[in-house]
Chain A
């Protein structure tokens, strides 16, 4: 375990019965720093939920181990459960009970009692903005409110580590926004370490300090967004809208000779250039355009996204957000 790491995964593997099936997660080695938001990005079936389930002690790994705040999920699963909060993908609540009764029930299972339990329930409701709805039956809540209460249950015992499994699935944009703000708030105000799984690229890019890309049960890359993009050598795209007049014959060749430009193409009134560092090439591009007499009406630079990284690493596209 490195200094500052609160979660360390060593060769973590999980294979479901029958054991001849492909492993759900395979030989995962990973370290997560205390206080960071680490997103695990991957499509459905990549192994995100299995990884969360092993980390929270729902079932043991087939091989390897995970150390969370010094406790092993293999040797001390109960110890791990005391310091980890979990927000499952499913809304794991009793619809027949009120929000407060749900919180009290799970709080008691976390060993809270009396005034401590009341205070924990009150504080958790306040964090997720449901103070006024605490005595309402969960069955009458909207999807967004249920998701927020689902998070509140995971916060009851003030965990040092919060494992959040796709907490925004199926939500409308406004509810998603509230939850993403809440995740950032948890990091800033409570200093919680958050392992957040998602298949929405935008979410991962927005909230994460670092991202791990999981594909077919393996972590294929991990790091800050910029580092990942740099690592796969993804290129910027520069688009010049030059009007309908035919471009001079030497214009495209001049662009191709520019350092850092790998591809040039013209389609209709748009010339597209692929460059490793578009910002650096921009003055030269504009100079050539002026020399060649191009009537540049607009210019856009597109930075490579995480989606491109995922595509480059796995050869597959991630599902687009709703």
Chain B
């Protein structure tokens, strides 16, 4: 155990004295992150509006009022006249594919599952409430695609304005009628229709839009994820991959200068030496990722970066365990590459190429949801997928328990590749 610590500590101090390692794996990614943060700091994932229709829902529970079911006005525009050809240009919401949903609970489920980007909930008392000037409709928004939800909400607001404008027109007409002395006399004499009397009473409605639109989040609604948060994970995992390649370089260098063999010919078990080296590299990786996360967090909190409410609120135990597991997997990857390759040039080529392929397949460079089905499944065979998926789960507010499968896969991958790397490296030493 003592020798394991000695080897690990020596490895750590050796790497700490290597400025190129820190430059490549810490300074460079922080600079890149800073540039990205400055350029795209405000962007939120899913902000791009797709060219295809956005699936939204409509729950019309309005039971109607004195003037009928005013909630149907929303349905008429959004569903019955989807092209909006009969409407003014500002009300042509062709972007949306509106589905009528039976009830609010079902709509909530569909939004939570990501089947709908948003849903409009018209409550049972909508028409009655509108007559008293205090009507409310609610819009459920999928936090994963907040931009789409915002677009739908804007459309609903436009519609609400139009409906309330209609109500104001009625009120104005009633005001006009009441202002006519002859009609007023008839009214007083009870000669006019009861409906008109109602209108006259309702003329006291406020001038402001009586329809309030309230934004709602489902119970398990994920928090919105900024592009910079996604890129932060991309940078951290990619740089960790590069660190693992430097590990290969280190092992090759030690083999070439015979310091590894010299350690082998001391009365120390080869397994302890390789484990110590691996542990040292693991600690280097931990320090790097921790420093990288700290640096990225500082960038996030930089003045002028917008409201702090948009920042990530990650589950810290979850993040710590994920970092430990990811660094273990990266260390194992580097050890396996070092054992499999015959030279450093081969390790750099093999390791670098594999890193890019696994990164692409694993969703490091773009979300795996964009991939076709079979590739989506294939991505689960890469450690990068489990690392990124774990991070995204944490970013969406899930805790350590939710990423247990991710941790398990990454730890098993790390341990298996470390064992394979140690065995291959031992074999290689015989071949030198």
Which residues of A are at the interface with B, using a C-beta cutoff of 8 A?
16-17, 56-59, 78-79, 81-82, 84, 86, 88, 90-94, 96-97, 105-106, 108-111, 153
Contacts and interface: CB of A to CB of B under 8 A. Distances in A.
A109 B258 contact: no
B269 interface: yes
A47 to B, nearest CB: 15
Contact of B14 (A90, A91, A93, A94): A94
B266 A94 contact: no
Contacts of A90: 257-258
B14 A109 contact: no
Given A17-B430, A90-B257, A91-B258, 15 more contacts: A81-B265, A82-B267, A84-B265, A88-B258, A88-B262, A90-B258, A92-B257, A92-B262, A93-B259, A94-B14, A106-B266, A109-B7, A109-B266, A109-B273, A153-B262
Contacts of A86: 262, 265
A251 to B, nearest CB: 60
A221 B105 CA distance: 94
A62 to B, nearest CB: 10
Contact of A105 (B6, B265, B267, B269): B6
Contacts of A78: 267, 269
B106 to A, nearest CB: 66
Nearest to B273: A109
B10 to A, nearest CB: 5
A211 B388 CA distance: 64
A58 B259 CA distance: 12
A72 B366 CA distance: 58
Given A78-B269, A86-B265, A153-B262, A109 B257 contact: no
Contacts of B109: none
Contacts of A17: 427, 430-431
B22 interface: no
6 contacts: A79-B267, A82-B267, A88-B258, A88-B261, A93-B259, A109-B266
A119 B342 CA distance: 40
Contacts of B262: 86, 88, 92, 106, 153
Interface string B236-272: 0000000000000000000001110111111111000
Interface string B256-293: 01110111111111000100000000000000000000
B267 A108 contact: no
B3 interface: yes
A22 to B, nearest CB: 15
Nearest to B265: A56
A100 to B, nearest CB: 14
A57 B266 CA distance: 9
A59 B259 contact: no
B196 interface: no
A106 B273 CA distance: 12
Nearest to A81: B267
Interface in B382-432: 427, 429-431
Nearest to A90: B258
A58 B431 CA distance: 12
A16 B431 CA distance: 7
B261 A109 contact: no
Nearest to B6: A108
Contacts of A58: 261, 264-265, 429
A82 B268 CA distance: 9
Given A78-B269, A111-B267, A92 B261 contact: yes
A94 B250 CA distance: 12
A109 B3 contact: yes
Contact of B259 (A57, A79, A82, A94): A94
A79 B65 CA distance: 97
B430 A16 contact: yes
Nearest to A105: B10
Given A59-B430, A109-B3, A109-B6, A96 B265 contact: no
Nearest to B266: A109
Given A16-B431, A59-B430, A108-B3, A92 B266 contact: no
B17 interface: yes
Interface centre among A84, A94, A153 (most CB of B within 10 A): A94
Contacts of B257: 90-93
A92 B261 CA distance: 8
Given A16-B430, A96-B17, A57 B6 contact: no
Interface string B19-56: 00000000000000000000000000000000000000
Contacts of B431: 16-17
A180 B427 CA distance: 34
A110 B429 contact: no
B429 to A, nearest CB: 7
A304 B263 CA distance: 43
Contacts of A59: 429-430
Contacts of A153: 262
A86 B6 CA distance: 21
B273 to A, nearest CB: 8
Q: Count chain A CB atoms within 10 A of each CB in B6, B18, B261, B266 and give the residue with the most.
A: B266
B42 to A, nearest CB: 44
A111 B2 CA distance: 10
B429 A57 contact: no
A93 B267 CA distance: 18
A81 B258 contact: no
Contact of B266 (A81, A88, A93, A97): A81
Point out which of B10, B267, B269, B430 has the most chain A C-beta atoms below 10 A from its C-beta: B267
Chain A to chain B: the 6 pairs with minimum beta-carbon distance, closest first: A92-B258, A109-B266, A90-B258, A92-B262, A81-B267, A56-B265
B97 to A, nearest CB: 64
A309 B23 CA distance: 58
Nearest to B430: A59
Contact of A92 (B10, B259, B427, B430): B259
Contacts of A108: 3, 6
Interface in B128-157: none
Given A59-B429, A59-B430, A106 B263 contact: yes
B126 to A, nearest CB: 75
Contacts of A94: 14, 259
A121 B262 CA distance: 17
Contacts of B266: 81, 106, 109-110
A170 to B, nearest CB: 14
Contacts of B268: 109
Contacts of A79: 267
A178 to B, nearest CB: 22
A58 B255 CA distance: 13
